[in-house]
Amino acid sequence: MRPSSDAVDADRPTWHGPAGASRKRPVNGRRAMLASMETERTGPPGPAVAERRADIAGLPIMWREAEPPRGGGHAPVLCLHGNPTDGDDFRSLLERTGGLAPDLPGFGGSAKPASFDYSIDGYADFLAAFVDHLGLEQLSLVVHDWGGVGLALAQRRPQSIERLVIINSVPLLPGYGWHRWARIWRTPLLGELAMGFTTRFALRRALRQAFVTRGPHVDALAERAWSHFDHGTQRAALKLYRSAPPEVLERAGARLGDLEAPALIVWGERDPYITTDFAHAYAKALGAPARVRMVADAGHWPWIDRPELVDEIASFVREG
């Protein structure tokens, strides 16, 4: 089992941006390698994506932030990642739309305390504190996988959502049965053993199975996930999955009908974890007609499998 990490790494050089928020400059070789891979895949970068850090709701939190393109006028875009990655999943989108992509507590470079409430409601409480800290009264929301906890926040504040993008997200809907790995993680002791004995090779192989394509972009995501896959992240994932039996998932989406913002649902059809019927179930549950974009040759991270989707998603959120 990898070493525990309950706090944000404070060893890197810092500089300060607007409102005194500190930023960390990525200087190690692994970051440089991953950045090189990402640039190779997506082409020259757009607006610079900076790393920010602050204490929010009593936790050291890291997020990525980019200024919106000139002449935008749309609400800030908040992108929420899933398990086991971090906000860097959305770097290419931030370069087109601007916005923010936090590492949720328990993941990436944010704090991973044992005391945090790793549940849908716990994350909704944290996200409420996050958007209040940054003064985001209106926002467009992009959620993927367990980033779907953002839908719990959206149901609390439906009038604050300008645009909504749901991408292969954990269904806050009736009828979902957890996939095989999730059932293992939800089982006491067996889940701990599965997490603790996960190797770098095993994690990379598992993540590759969630993609249709192969190449540096997949390797970069797997390497990034492994770099943060310590005891804190393993514990967070186990608690999160164990907090959400099917009836809790269904109850968490009971007010999706209150969300009347324009919505785009993007779904990789070859997702090994969540079947395509939940894309249409989400569209039916929302309070306004949603556009459903099924992607035949993509898996669980469809916008990484098919980079052209980034421009589609960016165009949608800019319409606001």
Instruction: Count the domains in the chain.
Output: 1
Answer whether residue 245 shows pLDDT above 60.
yes
Write the burial class of residue 316 (CB in 10 Å: 0-12 exposed, 13-18 middle, 19+ buried). buried
Asked whether the bond before 216 is cis by omega within 30 degrees of 0, the reply is no
Query: How many Cβ atoms are within 10 Å of 109's Cβ, its own excluded?
Result: 24
DSSP conformation class of 258: G
8 found inside a domain: no
47 found inside a domain: yes
2 found inside a domain: no
List, for residues 38-52, the tens digit of each pLDDT value: 434 444 456 799 999
59 found inside a domain: yes
Predicted confidence band of residue 19 (pLDDT cuts 50, 70, 90) = very low
Range(s) of the domain holding residue 240? 14-318
99 found inside a domain: yes
Q: Alpha-carbon distance 318 to 92, whole Å? A: 15
161 found inside a domain: yes
Write down the pLDDT at residue 22.
34
SS3 call for 170: coil
4 found inside a domain: no
List, for residues 163-190, the tens digit of each pLDDT value: 999 999 999 999 999 999 999 999 999 9
To which H or E segment does residue 303 belong?
Answer: helix 302-305
CATH number at residue 308: 3.40.50.1820
Alpha-carbon separation of residue 41 from 21, 71, 89, 133 (angstroms): 30, 27, 13, 34
